[in-house]
Amino acid sequence: DVQLVESGGALVQPGGSLKLSCAASGFTFSSHWMSWVRQAPGKGLEWVANIKYNAAGKYYVDSVRGRFTISRDNAKNSLFLQMTSLTVEDTAIYYCARWATSTLPNWYDLWGQGTLVTVSS
């Protein structure tokens, strides 16, 4: 099956760190740009970060730049999000998502089920 499965969500204290993983299967992972999207409780979707298919390009929303790092391991069909200096505002469900193309126009054509990150003391 073509799917994305996130893991690594947890309860973490403010100022702490956490690493999320996303396991991809059923498609050629190394051909696709990938992304993390988050959704705070009761709030809307927020694009967090993108990574090029070969990891040569990475892009971040301003609120996480310098604190979060997106990465990938194409040999293991895996996407990661290393999160540091976490604040309560980072509490959210984090979705792994696949971009449909490598250029514009582009859109998400595959979503994971999400993993919950709770930042609280």
Partner 1 sequence: QTVVTQEPSFSVSPGGTVTLTCGLSSGSVSTSNSPSWYQQTPGQPPRTLIFNTYSRSSGVPDRFSGSILGNKAALTITGAQADDDSDYYCLLCLGSGIWVFGGGTKLTVL
Please report whether residue 1 would count as binding partner 1 according to CB under 8 A.
no
Number of H helices, E strands in the chain: 0, 11
Please report whether residue 46 would count as binding partner 1 according to CB under 8 A.
yes
Q: Which stretch binds partner 1 (CB under 8 A): 8-16, 24-32, 55-63, 79-87?
A: 55-63
Between the CA of residue 57 and those of 35, 88, 95, what are the distances in Å?
Answer: 12, 28, 20
Measured from the CB atom, the residue of 44 and 75 that comes closer to partner 1 is 44
Residue pair 6/115 in contact by the 8 Å Cβ criterion: yes
Binder among 57, 82, 87, 102 for partner 1 (CB under 8 A): 57
Residue pair 20/7 in contact by the 8 Å Cβ criterion: yes
The residues that touch partner 1, with contacts defined as CB under 8 A, are: 37, 44-47, 50, 57, 59, 61-62, 95, 100, 104-109, 111-114
